Every structure is written in structure tokens, then in C-alpha cells.
Amino acid sequence: MKAISSLFTGMALMLAAASAQAGVIYTDKTYRDFDASSAYVTFNVTTHGLIDDLNIAVEFSKCDNPYIDPAGSACVGRDTPFENEIVMRLVGPDGRILSLIEPNTFDQGDTPGIGRITLTFDDEGASLGKRVQGGAFRPVQALSLFDGIDMFGQWKLYFGDTTGSDPLEVFSSSLIFNSADAPADVPEPAGFAVFGIGLFALGALRRRQRREA
């Protein structure tokens, strides 16, 4: 019985660790395009928990005309993408505005443009540099601005393109919260894997006990 108790204690610890690492993610998958225009994407966060770390992932493209559209991946136009026209900002539930990308954060970019990429804004990432590229990068202002506040409430991502003929296309965007005190569900594959390992080990233990008896 002691061995069985230890087994289930280990399973509980594994499940707790998986839950702590899961985080809280809100994603918008609506395709949007901006060409000398701007708009907000709204996230109504219904989870409570003090923010330990906040990251933002945006899947987008910045190409010369024409649009690559939702099914596309590479720039079709053959001229300068003008990456310096991109604007992205985050507005918190308390109204504070944080700059992710501002006009002229990037240079104009090279023909034909990098195409569809995912850029993750992360305070622990690399410096943005002057060219659009996929990966984890620090935003213009540190996301730690929101550390320690409750994630609950309405968050807004602002997307803008300052000049026409070189569209900014946004395919999806996500807010990724990490919080020690937020309720986070264990992802199903991880949960079932741990549960299955536990059942297998428990069955083996019972068979061993029968043989020894």
C-alpha cells in the first residue's frame, strides 16, 4: 500500500507541474488586413490570476501588393514591403498602452518581403533589430509593465499600417499569460499520458504483489 500511495503522490506532482506550466492563452484567429488603416482586436479575459509573465504571439505578413490572403504564405508582389509602416500596441484592462512596434521600428525591408511569419513578443527574447523576422523578440516597451496585475478584463491589440499599397495582414494573435495562482487546465494529451503511465505502473505493481504472495 505504501508503494501505491507513493505512486499516486508522484502522479499528483506530475499533474501539478504540467498544470503550472500550461499558462492561460487567449487566441483570436480572425483574418484581418490593414492598408493605410487600423483597428483593435479585443480579448475578453475571464480568468483571474496575477500576471507573472505576459507574452504576445502574432502571425502576420507585410508585403507589397497584392494581398497573400488567408491561404497564402509567401509575398506575391515584387516591390518593397515597407515594413517601417507597421504599428502594434497592447492596451491593458486598466487603459495603459504599451508599444510593441511603432512606425520606423523596422526599415523598409527588401523585395519581396519575408512573407507569413509568427513573431512572439517576449521580454526574454532577442532585440527586434531593423528587419521583420519570425521568432521571440523584445517589444519596443517591456511587457513587464503588466506584471503583478490581475489578467482578468478586456485587453486590446492595436494593429495599424500607416501608408497604402503595402498591406499588413494579420492571421492570428494570442495573449499568453503565466500566473502561479491562475487555474490552468492540464492539456488533454499530457493529462491522459500521465494517467496512462500511472495505470500501467499500478497494474505492474499488483501483478508483482500477487507473484510474491
pLDDT in the model for residue 207: 53
CA distance linking residue 114 with residue 66, whole number of Å: 14
- pLDDT at residue 178, as a whole number: 97
The total number of residues written for the chain in this structure: 213
- As given in the structure block, the three cell numbers for residue 81 are 514591403
Angle at 25 between CA 24 and CA 30, to 5 degrees: 160
Is the distance from CB of 203 to CB of 30 less than 8 angstroms?
Answer: no
Does 64 fall in a domain? yes
How many Cα atoms sit within 13 Å of 149 on the Cβ side?
A: 16
- pTM value is 0.77
Tell me phi and psi for residue 201, to 5 degrees. -65, -40
Assigned domain for 186 exists? no
Whole-angstrom Cα distance, residue 55 to residue 124?
A: 10
The DSSP call for residue 206 is: H
pLDDT, averaged in runs of 10, over the chain (213 residues): 45 43 86 97 97 98 95 93 97 98 96 95 97 97 98 98 95 97 57 46 51 55
Question: CB of 80 within 8 A of CB of 111?
Answer: yes
- Residue 29, domain CATH: 2.60.120.260
Return the number of other C-beta atoms located less than 10 Å from residue 164's C-beta. Answer: 12
Residues 45 and 26: their CA atoms lie apart, in Å, by 7
194 domain residue, yes or no: no
Q: Is residue 10 included in any domain, yes or no?
A: no
Residue 103 in any domain: the answer is yes
Beta strand pairing call for 168-178 and 53-62 = antiparallel
Among 118, 119, 37, 105, which Cα is nearest to 73's? 118
Q: Using the structure block, give the residue that is written with the C-alpha cell 507589397.
A: 64
Q: Is 60 part of any domain?
A: yes
pLDDT, position 212: 57
Q: Tell me what pLDDT residue 213 has.
A: 53
Closest by CA position to 123, among listed 90, 74, 78: 90
Report how far residue 207's alpha carbon sits from residue 213's, in angstroms, rounded to the nearest whole number: 10
pLDDT for 3: 47
The answer as to whether 141 is a domain residue is yes
Estimate to the nearest angstrom the gap between the alpha carbon of 197 and the chain centroid. 30
Expressed as residue numbers, the domain containing 157 is 24-181
Q: Would you state the pLDDT for residue 40?
A: 98
Number of domains in the chain: 1
Would you say residue 122 lies in a domain? yes
- Residue 200's pLDDT is 47
Contacts of 3 (CB under 8 A, 6+ apart): 205
**What cell was used for 43?**
480579448
